Amino acid sequence: MMSLMKETPVNNDFLLLDRMSEHEQVVFCNDPSSGLKAIIAIHNTTLGPALGGCRMQPYNSFDEALIDVLRLSKGMSYKCAAADVDFGGGKAVIIGDPLTDKTPELFRSFGQFVDSLGGRFYTGTDMGTDMEDFIHAMRETNNIVGVPEAYGGGGDSSVPTAIGVLNGLKATNKMLFGRTQLHGVTYAIQGLGKVGYKVAEGLLEEGADLYVTDINEDRLQQIELRAESAAGSVKVVASNEIYSQEADVFVPCAFGGVINDDTISQFKVKAIAGSANNQLLAGKHGRVLAEKGILYAPDYIINSGGLIQVADELYGANKERVLLKTKEIYNIILQVYQEAERHRITTVEAADRICEKTMMNRAKRNSFYSASLKPKWNIRN
């Protein structure tokens, strides 16, 4: 299997098709009546049916949306392998503004397209979408996860995602300072959305000092208010100043591509560990970070708490089980750091190796015919 962050120049349609050739299936969804324009990408189903959230964003171009969904779905294949769940990599993007373009019809239409894949793809929330959106989608398909408990789901998947990030931060502190405690370390958090806000709250409760930024003023006011009754402190900084803060750890919880030539030249941190998917703009940036002595927690491992919960939902949601598995992120991140150190490779290379081995072993193991009529993981069909 190829490296996760392969750099592919995208400047004409044929190169784009080359890039798509790593994927099993890419579906373009167009429904003029609801206004839905979406892309579903299934990267790899070696481990099981594809599973991954649905992002809604006002992409500037079709190519931008396609590149995003291709990268995100590939990341999910690795995330599923790292989290040891029997699902493969997939993701969806809806092209539109989450603040103005959401309607029940749009999400019902999206649900119909998901259903048309016949169980090859399960989806739920991601950046720009909320659990409530998928209540509409699940009227059209059984293949929706991350819905409220009242609808038979496991609830808000950003809760375990945030718990996973906090555990990844503990592992990072262990590696950097030889201690797991979250206090006594300063963090620069980018994005106070569903995940970032909960991470910030968790850190504040532990007494940590934070620099935070978001483009949403309400979220900033909320966290400032929250800090008043917590042991830690908050300092709000402008969006473009978050990269150059004198913090110990940068915690990206907004968008992808945030680790690039421009930001790396500004970083003063010792480590980067946050929830955003596809943090490295290109594969080379993992090495550039390592050369600069910045420890990097591979995104698809530290942010796998949400995946663990939505995968668990398909076995019948159990919070205790989800919490146990999510806390394992501490050990997996530490293992990646240690293997990278031992083999003198980057943490991205160490993580990719572990996941590719899992996928290859599974591909070999499942080569015989089984007469089982119903897959064990599918309680809804």
Ligand X SMILES: O=C(O)CCC(=O)C(=O)O
Ligand Y SMILES: NC(=O)C1=CN([C@@H]2O[C@H](COP(=O)(O)OP(=O)(O)OC[C@H]3O[C@@H](n4cnc5c(N)ncnc54)[C@H](O)[C@@H]3O)[C@@H](O)[C@H]2O)C=CC1
Q: How far is the CB of 225 from ligand X (least distance, A)?
A: 27
Tell me the one-letter amino acid at 195. V
Distance CA 66, CA 51 (A): 18
Give me the catalytic one of 37, 74, 91, 198.
91
Residue 357 is a catalytic residue? no
Contact 82, 355 (CB under 8 A): yes
Distance CA 24, CA 89 (A): 10
Contact 107, 114 (CB under 8 A): no
Residues of span 288-317 touching ligand X by CB under 6 A: 303, 306-307, 310
The interface region with ligand X, picked from 97-105, 123-131, 285-293, 362-370 by CB under 6 A, is 123-131
Distance CA 283, CA 286 (A): 6
Query: Binds 269, which of ligand Y, ligand X, none (CB < 5 to 8 A, cut-off by type)?
Result: none
Contact between 276 and ligand Y (CB under 6 A)?
Answer: yes
Query: Binds 135, which of ligand Y, ligand X, none (CB < 5 to 8 A, cut-off by type)?
Result: none
Contact 255, 232 (CB under 8 A): no
Q: How far is the CB of 344 from ligand Y (least distance, A)?
A: 29
Contact between 245 and ligand Y (CB under 6 A)?
Answer: no
* Gap between the terminal Cα atoms of the chain: 32
Strand partners, 95: 57
Residues of span 132-151 touching ligand X by CB under 6 A: 146
Query: Binds 3, which of ligand X, ligand Y, none (CB < 5 to 8 A, cut-off by type)?
Result: none
Distance CA 167, CA 297 (A): 11
Q: How far is the CB of 79 from ligand X (least distance, A)?
A: 6
Residue among 45, 173, 245, 277 that touches ligand X (CB under 6 A): 277
Contact 118, 126 (CB under 8 A): no
Contact 289, 296 (CB under 8 A): yes
From residue 62 to residue 91, what is the string marking binding to ligand X with x (rule CB under 6 A)?
A: -----------------x------------
Q: How far is the CB of 372 from ligand Y (least distance, A)?
A: 30
- How would you class 11 by CB atoms within 10 Å of its CB: exposed for 0-12, middle for 13-18, buried for 19 or more? exposed
From residue 15 to residue 54, what is the string marking binding to ligand X with x (rule CB under 6 A)?
A: -------------------------------------xx-
Helices and strands (H, E) in the chain, number of each type: 14, 12
Give the tokens for residue 47.
């481990």
Q: How far is the CB of 229 from ligand Y (least distance, A)?
A: 21
Tell me the one-letter amino acid at 366. N
Residues lying near ligand Y in the complex (CB under 6 A) are found at 125-128, 157-158, 161, 190-196, 213-216, 219, 239, 253-255, 275-277, 303, 306
**Catalytic residue numbers?**
91
* Positions that interact with ligand X (CB under 6 A): 52-53, 79, 124-126, 146, 157, 161, 277, 303, 306-307, 310
